[in-house]
A and B are shown apart, each in its own frame.
Chain A
Amino acid sequence: MGQMIKVGMADLKLCKAPDKITTLGLGSCVGIAIRDPQTKVGGLAHIMLPDSTQIASNSVKAKFADTGVKELVDIMVKNGAGRSRMVAKIAGGAKMFAFNSKNEMMSVGDRNVEAVKKALGALKIPILAQDTGDSYGRTVEFDPATGDFLIKAVGRGQKTI
């Protein structure tokens, strides 16, 4: 039996089969699960903001879509994953509070999802499935052996994408 590896907010970790990897309660943040189906080397990042170049305090790479995706891919490559075989699944990017405000904070979930797609696109990593947006939190579990991405939400049961 493998272990369940836990990833926190603004955090990313490597995960090799038979281990699985999880992050709890994605709100406006986005969880990015990547794996190489051949070597079964995978990983999960929990990013908070779209763009590291817009923020002065940007030393924590896992905090941002652009640097987080790149960092996770680099770590996976160092651990035997093949860049060209990598595939991704993403979840999160919800709008948790329904304020009637034009403040750009309100759309940070959508902007996070867009930035993650852009970062994966730049590395030519295809997105096989996504469960993003809406207004509820998501807990995710990723299995690098099968690529199954389990998504649980309060009062909504669970599904695998």
Chain B
Amino acid sequence: MAKIDLNNMDDSFFDVLKELGNIGAGNATTALSQMLSMRIDMKVPKAELLAFHEIGDAMGGEDQIMAGIDLLIEGDIEGSIMFLVELEAAKKLISIAMGGMPVEDKPEGEPPFNEMEQSVLMEFGNIIAGAYLNSLSTLTNLKIVPTPPALCVDMLNSIMSFPAIEFAELGDKMLLIDTKFSDDLDLNGYFILVPTLEAYEKILTSLGM
């Protein structure tokens, strides 16, 4: 079985994860186009390993407000997958999904999204993460079952502490998969796939690496 050291990761492994992202993106676009009734293209321009203190700068600022949708992974591999977008992009997505109705600003002390808006965001994350996991499952022949999504709208670093802590148990770096939406929808998002160390090994072994 392949032995993984997250602090000294091989380039070919990134290429695989990036490619998985692109295949998953292809799957997700169809579902998203239907959900939002628009043409959407989605690409994964890069996958990178970052030290924990580099996360903030790489994603637009440690205290920037973001929306993170997280799904836990069960089955043959365990871990979690998260999709993150900026607050303004999240508002845009919700607005499009709800037929162009703008997302109203909420009073101080209340959550930035009401229940309806939250479920739209979670569904969005569900589709994208599900598509990524599907392509991973198909390519590796591993059974991958995501749990229902959970949402967190807060400062980037606070949201990222969840996957980052999981990565911290494995090493001193975290894997970030950039996602770029284009065509009718123009926005950036990020994926964070956090398999456990055994899961990494299972994925690589299944891929014959």
Contacts and interface: CB of A to CB of B under 8 A. Distances in A.
A155 B169 contact: no
Main SS of chain B's interface residues? mixed
A136 B154 CA distance: 7
Interface of A: 8-11, 24-29, 48-49, 55, 57, 59-60, 63, 94, 96-99, 101, 103, 105, 108, 136-139, 154-157
A160 to B, nearest CB: 18
A10 B72 contact: no
A137 B170 contact: no
Contacts of B162: 27-28, 96-97, 105
B154 A137 contact: yes
B158 A155 contact: no
Interface string B166-194: 10111110000000000000000000000
Interface residues of B, number: 40
A138 B168 CA distance: 20
A115 to B, nearest CB: 13
Nearest to B6: A57
Contacts of B126: none
Contacts of B155: 24-25, 27, 137, 139, 154
B53 interface: yes
A42 B185 CA distance: 48
B56 interface: yes
Interface of B: 6-7, 52-56, 62-63, 65, 68, 70, 72, 108-112, 147, 150-162, 164-166, 168-172
A26 B52 contact: no
B158 A9 contact: no
A26 B109 CA distance: 19
Nearest to A59: B172
Nearest to A135: B152
A103 B158 contact: no
Nearest to B107: A155
A96 B111 CA distance: 14
Contact of B166 (A9, A29, A59, A105): A105
B86 to A, nearest CB: 14
